[in-house]
Amino acid sequence: MTQLPATTDKKLGLVIDLDTCVGCHACVISCKEWNTGSYGAPLSDVDAYGANPVGTFLNRVHSFEAKQEGCPSQTIHFPKSCLHCDDAPCVTVCPTGASYKRSEDGIVLVNEDQCMGCGLCAWACPYGARELDAMAGVMKKCTLCVDRIYNENIPEEDRVPSCVRTCPAGARHFGDFADPESNVSKLVAERGGMDLMPELGTSPVNKYLPPRPKADVNGTQPPALEAQSTEITGFLGWLDRTLEKI
């Protein structure tokens, strides 16, 4: 059992726009390439060229179909990584103190030196956001690119998580939810940002923006154009009248 900090100064996290995410996996791979060469053990790939390639990823995109009776089916792309919960069950369940939530910014991390790879945290996380690395035997999870966002060796504008910097559609936003004036707080307010499974009481920091209503599913269609005429002779009449005005 490990304690959470009573409060955190900041609440850093992501807003993911489900209205804009096209499911391209850019964030998945950018995350993999940054994190396999930085914080903690590399993200290994077991049987990389074989029958059952299984690698460690800190961020994955799941695609779902949603179909309401009598309506066309919809496709939703759902990127998912650690939500850096305020009441993170993965931290409180950790027997060694390896899992912890940072008091200054709320990022949930694993101290790999103390991690014994028991996997309890992955069981406790209701979102499936943690993966035990098969080669290193330690728990891996989203670090919110803690080694990018404060990194003085990279340009200030790039001090965002790798997934945010790379997202081609601009569907991922990074910021401080403790600040009501931040970009992410405003987006959540304007677009009805949602918690993932709030009923579980984890108080996730990351938020999701819901898709806009679809015209073909739950929208209205504009009425047809009014015909000038249905006959070519009438059309030519319209043409003459209009040409006079040009």
Positions 208 through 227 that interact with other proteins (CB under 8 A): 211-212, 214-216, 219, 221-227
Instruction: Report which secondary-structure segment, H or E, holds 139.
Output: strand 139-140
Beta carbon nearer to other proteins, 109 or 205: 109
Beta carbon nearer to other proteins, 49 or 181: 49
x-marked contacts with other proteins along 111-150 as a string, rule CB under 8 A = x-x--------------------xxx---------xx-xx
Beta carbon nearer to other proteins, 37 or 199: 37
Which residues, at least 6 apart from 235, have a Cβ–Cβ distance to it below 8 Å? 228, 229
- Pick the closest to residue 109 from 182, 40, 30 (CA basis): 40
Beta carbon nearer to other proteins, 31 or 129: 31
Sign of the alpha-carbon dihedral angle for 64, 125, 201, 15: negative
Q: Which of 94, 144, 188, 205 binds other proteins (CB under 8 A)?
A: 94
Q: Which of 95, 137, 198, 201 binds other proteins (CB under 8 A)?
A: 95
Which residues, at least 6 apart from 224, have a Cβ–Cβ distance to it below 8 Å? none
Say if residue 40 is exposed, middle or buried (CB neighbours under 10 Å; 0-12, 13-18, 19+): buried
Contact indicator for 132, 117 with CB cutoff of 8 Å: yes
Question: Measured from the CB of residue 25, what is the shortest distance to other proteins in angstroms?
Answer: 4
Contact set for other proteins, span 4-33 (CB under 8 A) = 4-5, 17, 19-26, 28-30, 32-33
Amino acid at 214: K
Q: Which of 62, 97, 128, 183 binds other proteins (CB under 8 A)?
A: 97
Question: Measured from the CB of residue 199, what is the shortest distance to other proteins in angstroms?
Answer: 26
State the Cα angle at 208 between 140 and 90, rounded to 5°: 30
Binding of other proteins at residue 1 (CB under 8 A)? Answer: yes
Helix ranges restricted to H, 145-231:
146-149, 162-166, 183-191, 215-218
Contact indicator for 14, 172 with CB cutoff of 8 Å: yes
x-marked contacts with other proteins along 29-68 as a string, rule CB under 8 A = xx-xxx-xxxxxxxxxxxxxxxxxxxx-x-----x-x-x-
Q: Which of 170, 180, 192, 198 binds other proteins (CB under 8 A)?
A: 170
Q: Which of 62, 87, 103, 197 binds other proteins (CB under 8 A)?
A: 103
Beta carbon nearer to other proteins, 47 or 179: 47
Measured CA to CA, the distance from residue 134 to residue 145 in angstroms comes to 21
